[in-house]
Amino acid sequence: NAGVTQTPKFQVLKTGQSMTLQCAQDMNHEYMSWYRQDPGMGLRLIHYSVGAGITDQGEVPNGYNVSRSTTEDFPLRLLSAAPSQTSVYFCASSYLFGTDNEKLFFGSGTQLSVL
Amino acid sequence: GESVGLHLPTLSVQEGDNSIINCAYSNSASDYFIWYKQESGKGPQFIIDIRSNMDKRQGQRVTVLLNKTVKHLSLQIAATQPGDSAVYFCADGRDQGAQKLVFGQGTRLTINP
């Protein structure tokens, strides 16, 4: 049972490049989400999904796309990287609210630098 | 606007003492709150959660208190140990038809020997 797995751990991009951050979970969680964490700040929600084929925007969705074709995977796509997207990105998953077991499990993060 | 905030960005305590980390929230409709611990270079780790129909919940060496009247949440850590050094975040799971956790900025807890 690996939990939430994120790849890559580190990435450097040039402005304008695109890339996909991968996230996979093996806990059969319906809910998956992406957060970014900037220095001195808490985690801010980018996008989330309550099941395969369903996604929605969080607090800071601009510049990011997501899709959820399977229960296990929730990739985050940066369409055209900007220096403002330099951050640490965390993927998290959980069971749905109302199940009395909603705590989020986080991956170990992807540190992204955009030059 | 709505926010989840912490009273202090840093807290230093002596090993063996009790620690109290505070958090304020602004949305009176919030009904679920969680505390996370984040060690350097790692993802946040769940500590304890509490629903709005409770005012206290205890775990192993940790207690969360919820005061809905003043919209205040606290995390108490008993007999702090060096391994408790980390950044602690409170998160507000607002039930507005969407499953979203909104995190505060965090409090860095340092344990002095």
Mean pLDDT across the stretch B12-24?
A: 95
Facing residue for A42 by CB, picked from B34, B46, B104: B104
> Residue B94: its pLDDT value, please?
64
Tell the residue number behind the tokens 């899709």, with chain if given.
Answer: A67
Which of the pair, B92 or A65, is modelled with greater confidence? A65
> Residue B1: its pLDDT value, please?
33
> Residue B92: its pLDDT value, please?
85
Smallest Cα–Cα separation from B68: which of B78, B54, B47?
A: B54
> What's the average pLDDT block by block, 10 residues per block, for chain A (115 residues)?
92 97 96 90 90 93 97 97 97 81 88 97
Asked if A59 and A112 touch (Cβ cutoff 8 Å), the reply is: no
CB contact under 8 A, B100 and A109: no
Q: Which residues pair with A86 in a beta bridge?
A: none
Asked if A108 and A24 touch (Cβ cutoff 8 Å), the reply is: no
B71: region left, alpha or beta (phi > 0 left; psi from -120 to 50 alpha): left
How many Å lie between the alpha carbon of B86 and the closest alpha carbon of chain A?
14
> Residue B2: its pLDDT value, please?
38
Q: For all residues of chain B together, what is the average pLDDT?
A: 87
> Residue B72: its pLDDT value, please?
93
Residue A102, chain B, CB below 8 Å: the answer is yes
pLDDT tens for B48-85 read: 999 889 999 999 999 999 999 999 999 999 999 999 99
Cα gap A53→A79, rounded to integer Å: 20
Task: Look at the alpha carbons of B59, B90, A110, A55 in this order and tell me if their dihedral is positive or negative.
Answer: positive
Residues 6+ apart with CB under 8 A from A103: A94, B34, B46, B49
CB contact under 8 A, A103 and B106: no
Q: Beta-carbon neighbour count of residue A63 at 10 Å? A: 14
A109 vs B contacts (CB less than 8 Å)? 41-43
Instruction: Give the burial class of A88: count Cβ atoms within 10 A of its Cβ; 0-12 exposed, 13-18 middle, 19 or more buried.
Output: middle
CB contact under 8 A, A43 and B32: no
CB contact under 8 A, A45 and B100: yes
Q: Which residues pair with B37 in a beta bridge?
A: B45, B88
Share of chain B above pLDDT 70, in %: 88
